[in-house]
Amino acid sequence: MAVVGTPLAPATPATAPAVHQIKVLTVNTHKGFTVFNRRFILPELREAVRSTGADLVFLQEVLGEHEKYASRYEDWPATSQYEFLADSMWSDFAYGRNAVYPDGHHGNALLSKYPIKSWRNLDVSITGPERRGLLHCVLDVPGHDNVHAICVHLSLLESHRQLQIVLLNQLLKSLPPDEPVIIAGDFNDWKQQGNAALCQRDDLHEVFARHHGQLAKTYPARWPLLRLDRIYLRNASSHNPEILGNKPWTHLSDHLPLAVEVHL
């Protein structure tokens, strides 16, 4: 499991009031395009993400760079997509580059209203051309030593996903057992075998399964049938989990976003 990472931001002053509630959003951005890449809608996606008021935004399939698209679309941002989405609303961001190709690269990203103390991108690719990663960030949330955020995008292949779940469990075991952990993203786990493996842990819960008795249907966005996207918590409680299933979300990606209030 290869690791790339670097410290990012100074810590929050110790005098800041303690934070006990964080709003979390996870969305597969589909590289800023509608289904089948018919239309570039990143500016619309940014407005939709901003409207949620989320403190933490977990992004999958976000472009770091793409030279061909940049020359083709007049409204293509001058910065990376994750910086464009962060704009002035999220002070900190981290990007884990996974897939690299001649025109550019894409991966996972985290946008945060709290300082990111450190981050690392864990390469959990198995074999073949499909590249996947776990973006692990350590956040400086006032009132807490560390809050861990792990942005996930797993393989399309079941055998690969099972191995990646093992690697995710290894990461969890390496973290201090009493610190809050938020895991969110696109698990591509349509058979729910990965969820079954994660739910064997006594210290972890998936927010929709806990509140509604089943995982959220998120794919395809306009007629959701498959339960691919998840939010798991450790040492934190979940409140008001929500599938963002109305316009404009149904037209902004091939996945529906998920949101939840996390109480620390």
What is the structure's pLDDT at 262?
A: 98
- Structural domain includes residue 259: yes
- Structural domain includes residue 45: yes
Q: What is the pLDDT along the chain (264 residues), one digit of tens a residue?
A: 765 665 555 555 557 899 999 999 999 999 999 887 779 999 999 999 999 999 999 999 999 999 999 999 989 999 999 999 999 899 999 999 998 999 999 999 999 999 999 999 999 999 999 999 999 999 999 999 999 999 999 999 999 999 999 999 999 999 999 999 999 999 999 999 999 999 999 999 999 999 999 999 999 999 999 999 999 999 999 999 999 999 999 999 999 999 999 999
What is the structure's pLDDT at 37?
A: 75
What is the structure's pLDDT at 38?
A: 77
Answer whether 0.85 is exceeded by the pTM. yes
3-class SS of residue 223: coil
- Structural domain includes residue 2: no
- Structural domain includes residue 9: no
- Structural domain includes residue 1: no
What is the structure's pLDDT at 36?
A: 73
Rounded CA-CA distance 88/144 in Å is 25
Total domain count for the chain?
A: 1
Domain span including residue 248 = 21-263
Rounded CA-CA distance 149/138 in Å is 6
What is the structure's pLDDT at 56?
A: 98
What is the structure's pLDDT at 10?
A: 53
- Structural domain includes residue 124: yes
- Structural domain includes residue 12: no
What is the structure's pLDDT at 16?
A: 82
**C-beta atoms surrounding 235 within 10 Å:** 18
Q: Provide the CATH number for the domain around residue 165.
A: 3.60.10.10
What is the structure's pLDDT at 174?
A: 98
229-234 and 205-206 beta bridge pairing = antiparallel
- Structural domain includes residue 10: no
Rounded CA-CA distance 8/23 in Å is 22
Angle at the Cα of 85 from the Cα atoms of 80 and 88, rounded to 5 degrees: 110
Give the contacts of 142 (CB within 8 A, at least 6 positions apart): 12, 16, 17, 18, 19, 114
